[in-house]
């Protein structure tokens, strides 16, 4: 590694460390932490629309989970600033066609701010369990970022983040 590259990496690491320290001490992080202790809440309109779109545009297996959206609730599950939520399916909702705990769908798109993010939908035992948002380009991160806009979504393809 050349000297310029070394100092470039060092500068980037220091920059990320500074952002992380600021995030760790922020009021917003404490608000997010307290949300995790709240009882499950109804899905937001954004969460419900995104979840419905993902299931409708996923596999046939994914579509079998659509009835679970009715009455679904959510709880913030991560404190890093991402929009990830744990999903709570109504007791009487029918089970989806997959039983093993595994990712059901994986899409990518851009947030309203233009950040490149991925969104994965997990299920376990035939019930939707987690809607996870994550940064793909390192631009999205603390203080927080959102899920991708529906019009930007496409199926995730390894090696093609654009």
- Among residues 130, 78, 79, 67, the alpha carbon closest in space to that of 101 is found at 130
**pLDDT of res. 82:** 83
**pLDDT of res. 153:** 94
Digit-coded pLDDT (tens) for 102-114: 788 999 999 998 8
Identify which has the larger pLDDT, 157 or 116.
Answer: 116
Q: What is the DSSP string of 79-145?
A: SSS---EEEE--TTSPP-S--SSEEEEEEEEE-TT--EEEEEEEEETTEEEEEEEEESSS-S-TT--
**pLDDT of res. 23:** 55
What is the average pLDDT score of the chain? Answer: 80
10, pLDDT greater than 80: no
Digit-coded pLDDT (tens) for 31-41: 666 666 778 99
What values do phi and psi take at 140, rounded to 5?
-85, 135
């Amino acid at each position: 590694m050349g000297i310029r590259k070394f100092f470039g990496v060092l500068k980037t690491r220091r920059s990320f460390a500074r952002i992380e320290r600021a995030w760790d001490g922020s009021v917003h992080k404490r608000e997010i932490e307290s949300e995790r202790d709240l009882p499950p809440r109804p899905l937001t309109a954004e969460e419900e629309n995104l979840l419905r779109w993902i299931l409708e545009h996923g596999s046939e297996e994914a579509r079998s989970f659509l009835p679970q959206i009715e009455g679904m609730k959510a709880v913030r599950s991560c404190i890093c600033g991402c929009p990830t939520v744990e999903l709570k399916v109504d007791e009487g909702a029918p089970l989806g066609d997959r039983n093993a705990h595994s990712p059901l769908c994986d899409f990518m798109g851009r947030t309203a701010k233009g950040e490149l993010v991925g969104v994965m939908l997990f299920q376990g035992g035939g019930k939707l369990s987690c809607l996870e948002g994550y940064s793909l380009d390192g631009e999205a991160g603390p203080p927080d970022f959102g899920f991708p806009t529906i019009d930007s979504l496409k199926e995730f393809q390894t090696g093609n983040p654009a």
